Chain A
Amino acid sequence: NAGVTQTPKFQVLKTGQSMTLQCAQDMNHEYMSWYRQDPGMGLRLIHYSVGAGITDQGEVPNGYNVSRSTTEDFPLRLLSAAPSQTSVYFCASSLIQGAAEKLFFGSGTQLSVL
């Protein structure tokens, strides 16, 4: 199994540009989420979804948009990139119920906004 796949691995944007970070999982997980990690810090939740058609905001949602049209995919859109969005972005997924609530993480996307 591929697990959680994120693309691209690296991206450089100019201020004001828009882009979409892709995330796909092949484990039939209901829950998917996006986090950002700034240097030397923990992860902050941006948006999450508990199933197709259902999304909700996390701790730091401003400047980001998500949609969940399928169980497998959960893209993150930066509407108008700002230098403050320079960060490493992680997508993660999990089953919802029972002991299998642990998150499986993608390998991350390193984003620089100039």
Chain B
Amino acid sequence: SQQGEEDPQALSIQEGENATMNCSYKTSINNLQWYRQNSGRGLVHLILIRSNEREKHSGRLRVTLDTSKKSSSLLITASRAADTASYFCATRVDSSYKLIFGSGTRLLVRP
């Protein structure tokens, strides 16, 4: 089974609304990363949060990490149609260089 699981699997919102995606993982991690994938393209890195950090911001993105619950959330504020994509969390397992991806959340932002 996969290390990371995103919730929800799919999300549809109106432009201007906020979008929240959650990620749960199973083992101890060094860091957690979020990536975006536009249809048919490679993934693009959005943000990285380390295991000793609790919150991080980048533009309209806000990521939180709760290591006690083994979970993270990605908040996209004031969403735009261009934010329509799939979003994946990925965890770098402690003492390993491997980056393991979750199953993703498909976000649709309606104009």
* Contact surface of A with B, Cβ cutoff 8 Å: 4, 31, 33, 35, 41-45, 48, 50, 58-59, 90, 92, 94, 96, 99, 101-108
| CA distance in complex: A33, B90 (Å) | 14
Q: Are A35 and B97 in touch, CB under 8 angstroms?
A: no
Q: Are B43 and A90 in touch, CB under 8 angstroms?
A: yes
Question: Per DSSP, are chain B's interface residues mostly helix, strand or loop, or mixed?
Answer: strand
Does B25 lie at the interface of the complex (its beta carbon under 8 Å from any beta carbon of A)?
no
The answer, among B31, B42, B44, B98, for a CB contact under 8 Å with A45, is B98
| Given A42-B88, A105-B43, A107-B41, A99 and B103 contact (CB-CB distance below 8 Å) | no
| CA distance in complex: A90, B103 (Å) | 15
Closest chain A residue to B45, Cβ basis: A102
| Given A101-B48, A102-B33, A102-B48, A33 and B42 contact (CB-CB distance below 8 Å) | no
The answer, among B33, B41, B98, B103, for a CB contact under 8 Å with A42, is B103
Q: Are B99 and A33 in touch, CB under 8 angstroms?
A: yes
Beyond the given pairs A31-B97, A105-B44, 16 more chain A to chain B contacts, judged by CB atoms under 8 angstroms and listed by A's residue number, are: A33-B99, A42-B2, A42-B4, A42-B103, A43-B88, A44-B2, A44-B101, A48-B97, A48-B98, A58-B98, A90-B42, A92-B42, A96-B97, A102-B33, A102-B45, A104-B45
| CA distance in complex: A30, B41 (Å) | 24
| CA distance in complex: A70, B45 (Å) | 25
A98 → chain B closest CB, angstroms: 11
| CA distance in complex: A57, B101 (Å) | 15
The answer, among A4, A43, A101, A104, for a CB contact under 8 Å with B101, is A43
- Residues 81-111 of B, flagged 1 when their CB comes within 8 A of A and 0 if not, give 0000000101010000111111110000000
Closest chain B residue to A110, Cβ basis: B40
Closest chain B residue to A50, Cβ basis: B97
